[in-house]
Amino acid sequence: MTGVQTCALPIWLANNEIDIYEIGSSVDLFRRAQTIPGVQIREATPKQYAHITFNGAPGTVLADVRMRRAIAQGIDRTAIAQRLIGPIVPKVLPMGNHIYPIGAKEYRDNSGVLAYDPAAANRALDALGWVRPAPGAVRARNGRPLTLRFVSTAGNPIAEDTAKTTQNQLGAIGVQVDIESVPFNQFFHDFVDVGNFDLTSFQWVQNSAAFSNSLNVYQEPKDADIGNNFGRVYDPRIGPLFAQGFAELDDAKRADIGNHLDQVVWQEVHDLPLYPQTGAFAVRATLANFGAKGLGDWDFVHAGFTTS
């Protein structure tokens, strides 16, 4: 759906041309839905979340896990979540798990190992030789400025706002972020898939088999076979943990393995989960049992219109 069509959704709903539209992370669509008579906003946290991927391939600026950790500690995930979707979900919490979605019985917040800590980020960058020649200046090492390319999709307000907020936050610790907005039809093929970025952001969609569905995101890169591990970050503990989890038949024990694996992913700074999608939909009030689906799926059998 084009940007023009998306902007028209509230008009179509108000004119009874449609009965539902997805709000997602669009504050504009949310606020316009609030003004339409006979429309409800239904929300339930889904299996979809935004994140920032770090390119840790050999030879890149972020190849060193200490660099990735310092950059991650300079990014305030809570501030990003509140800025982007706080008007829709006032009590939004940052994602604390790479494997399990918020609301799932297996979910645990394992993000404490990588908490926002700009002071620690500054110390780490100093120790790595990236020093600030003057207060407020960009850090440099051996005459090379510390600059990261944040590749974003052009014309996407959410992606652009994420990139700009990250740019401002990292600027505070002396890291220059250059934002490169590219057409969506080139975003994955010409940039993300081939590792042509330092930082980038998009959304992961988990499914009902969250553990097994995560394998190709964190698999070991082998030449051109990277699965969906676009940042090419890997820890040798990950493969055996997946194998152990696949062989485990006890759900509780598999959840423990999954959370152990998630802790490893946090430690390696594979990517930085930001916030879950809002799961918000604008729905005609007379449309029953339909709208926000959360961790489930729509049940069309039980959906329908009420008589009043």
Token pair in block for residue 123: 């110390």
Residues of the chain below pLDDT 50 = 4
Q: What is the pTM of this model?
A: 0.91
pLDDT at 248: 95
Q: What is the distance between the alpha carbons of residues 61 and 40, in angstroms, rounded to a whole number?
A: 47
pLDDT at 255: 96
DSSP assignment, residue 250?
-
Q: Strands 176-182 and 147-153: what pairing?
A: parallel
Bridge partners, residue 160, by sequence: none
Helical (H) or strand (E) element with 189:
none
Q: Strands 20-22 and 281-284: what pairing?
A: antiparallel
pLDDT at 263: 97
Distance of CA 225 to the CA centre of its chain: 23
Could you read off the pLDDT of 116-126 as tens digits, one per residue?
A: 999 999 999 99
Q: In angstroms, what CA-CA distances link 153 with 30, 179, 190?
A: 22, 10, 12
User: Do 171 and 163 touch, CB atoms closer than 8 A?
Assistant: no
From 237, 269, 236, 241, select the one nearest 257 (Cα to Cα): 241
Token pair in block for residue 15: 């004119």
Could you read off the pLDDT of 244-274 as tens digits, one per residue?
A: 999 999 999 999 999 999 999 999 999 999 9
Q: What is the distance between the alpha carbons of residues 45 and 277, in angstroms, rounded to a whole number?
A: 7
Residues belonging to the chain: 308
From 134, 168, 164, select the one nearest 152 (Cα to Cα): 164
